């Protein structure tokens, strides 16, 4: 049995799970949403980390049905929590560059919104800088169409990949996520702190909201807040939680 068969079965047999990590408004301290993070727990192999199976899913094309499942699951979950607790949490879903390149991606997203009956303003899509490797008008077009549905778009892992400022300037997006590798340098060196401050000012100059990733220390949070960073996520607040535990986390807010 190949890994490809195993992964396909995992999708079919519901051995893939979404974990959720809260996103916090660091100016008010309130949770405003969460990022959906895919997990594969195999009965024999145990926990298979996403950095191992997502690249594999991308190579084999399995990321396409998996990605559709992720979007639908995330829409259903956010809708049920918002309905139950009368909240307006927004769920962020990672979209692979492979998915974004599909000619029918807009239709797929529209269908999922319709089938799940979720309010589009409760959904956000995270694209990585890898999506900009073949930057073209069609990419700009697609992002604009996604936004026109009422879905917010953010650039994940900013500063680590292939985006150039000239691309970024022309991209219809709402937020920029500062990669954890920058956040962890806060307070460790003057350059480290200054770079994060500069990234936040750059984002604000382009009218983008800023989300800091991988916040683990109080010192990072204090600095980010002082720089005007809007949102943060990281172990400092909560690690990613399975849906039933995230439900309890929401209930306790
Ligand atoms: O959950 P963790 O931090 O280990 O995630 C590792 C990587 O897997 C991150 O780069 C994250 O963006 C990616 N990832 C997690 N869930 C998904 C998903 O549903 N789709 C895609 N395309 N990538 C995901
Ligand atoms: O690439 P992306 O940003 O989508 O993935 C986020 C990854 O970072 C996930 O695998 C998630 O589990 C992980 N993560 C989230 N918060 C923290 C944190 O505070 N510290 C560390 N080390 N990893 C984190
Ligand atoms: Mn992400
Ligand atoms: Na990220």
Dist. CA 121–CA 133, nearest whole Å: 28
Which atom of ligand 1 lies closest to the CA of 21?
1
Counting ligand 1 atoms within 8 A of each CB, the residue from 38, 67, 239 with the most, and so the one to mutate, is 38
Tell me the CA–centroid distance for residue 190 and ligand 2, in Å.
Answer: 24
Find out whether 32 and 89 touch, Cβ atoms under 8 Å: yes
Q: Is 50 in the pocket of ligand 1 (CB under 6 A)?
A: yes
pTM score, whole prediction: 0.96
Tell me the CA–centroid distance for residue 1 and ligand 4, in Å.
Answer: 32
Domains observed in the chain = 3-251 (3.20.20.450)
Which atom of ligand 1 lies closest to the CA of 37?
16
Instruction: Give the model's pLDDT for residue 1.
Output: 76
The single-letter DSSP state of residue 132 is: G
Which atom of ligand 2 lies closest to the CA of 213?
16
Counting ligand 2 atoms within 8 A of each CB, the residue from 91, 180, 182, 220 with the most, and so the one to mutate, is 180
Q: Is 37 in the pocket of ligand 1 (CB under 6 A)?
A: yes
Instruction: Give the model's pLDDT for residue 60.
Output: 95
Find out whether 230 and 25 touch, Cβ atoms under 8 Å: yes
Q: Is 211 in the pocket of ligand 1 (CB under 6 A)?
A: no
Instruction: Give the model's pLDDT for residue 135.
Output: 79
Find all residues with CB under 8 Å of 179, minimum gap 6, and list them.
157, 158, 159, 160, 213, 214
User: How far is C-alpha 139 from the chain's CA centre?
Assistant: 18
Which atom of ligand 2 lies closest to the CA of 179?
3
Which atom of ligand 1 lies closest to the CA of 99?
22
Q: List Cα–Cα distances, 59 to 68, 127, 240, in angstroms.
A: 16, 18, 26
A 10 A CB-CB count for 103 gives: 8
DSSP of 162-204:
S--HHHHHT---SEEEEPHHHHTTTTT-HHHHHHHHHHHHHHH
Instruction: Give the model's pLDDT for residue 32.
Output: 98
Q: Whose CA is nearest to atom 3 of ligand 1?
A: 37
Tell me the CA–centroid distance for residue 190 and ligand 1, in Å.
Answer: 30
**Per-residue confidence in pLDDT tens, the chain, 253 aa:** 788 899 999 998 889 999 999 999 999 999 999 999 999 999 888 999 999 999 999 999 999 999 999 999 999 999 999 999 999 999 999 999 999 999 999 999 999 999 999 999 999 999 998 888 877 888 999 999 999 999 999 999 888 887 788 888 889 999 999 999 999 999 999 999 999 999 999 999 999 999 999 999 999 999 999 999 999 999 999 999 999 999 999 999 8
State whether residue 123 is helix, strand or coil.
strand
Instruction: Give the model's pLDDT for residue 45.
Output: 87
Find out whether 37 and 21 touch, Cβ atoms under 8 Å: yes
197: alpha, beta or left, given left = phi > 0 and alpha = psi -120 to 50?
A: alpha
Instruction: Give the model's pLDDT for residue 164.
Output: 82
Q: Whose CA is nearest to atom 22 of ligand 1?
A: 96
Dist. CA 235–CA 233, nearest whole Å: 7
């Amino acid at each position: 049995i190949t890994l490809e068969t195993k992964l396909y079965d995992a999708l079919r047999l519901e051995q893939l799970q979404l974990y959720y990590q809260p996103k916090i408004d660091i100016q008010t301290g309130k949770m405003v949403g969460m990022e959906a993070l895919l997990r594969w727990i195999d009965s024999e192999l145990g926990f298979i980390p996403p950095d191992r199976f997502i690249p594999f899913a991308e190579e084999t094309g399995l990321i396409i049905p998996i990605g559709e499942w992720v979007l639908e699951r995330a829409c259903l979950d956010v809708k049920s929590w918002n309905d139950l607790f009368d909240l307006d949490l927004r769920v962020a879903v990672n979209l692979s560059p492979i998915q974004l390149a599909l000619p029918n991606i807009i239709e797929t997203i529209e269908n999922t919104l319709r089938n799940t009956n979720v309010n589009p303003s409760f959904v956000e899509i995270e694209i990585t800088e890898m999506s900009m490797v073949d930057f073209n008008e069609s990419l700009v077009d697609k992002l604009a169409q996604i936004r026109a549905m009422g879905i917010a778009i953010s650039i994940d892992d900013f500063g680590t990949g292939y985006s150039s400022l000239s691309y970024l300037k022309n991209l219809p997006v709402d937020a920029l996520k500062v990669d954890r590798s920058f956040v962890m340098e806060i307070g460790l060196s003057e350059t480290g702190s200054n770079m994060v401050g500069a990234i936040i000012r750059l984002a604000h100059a382009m009218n983008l909201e800023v989300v800091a990733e991988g916040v683990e220390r109080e010192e990072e949070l204090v600095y980010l807040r002082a720089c005007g960073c809007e949102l943060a996520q990281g172990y400092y607040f909560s690690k990613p939680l399975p849906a039933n535990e995230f439900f309890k986390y929401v209930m306790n807010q």
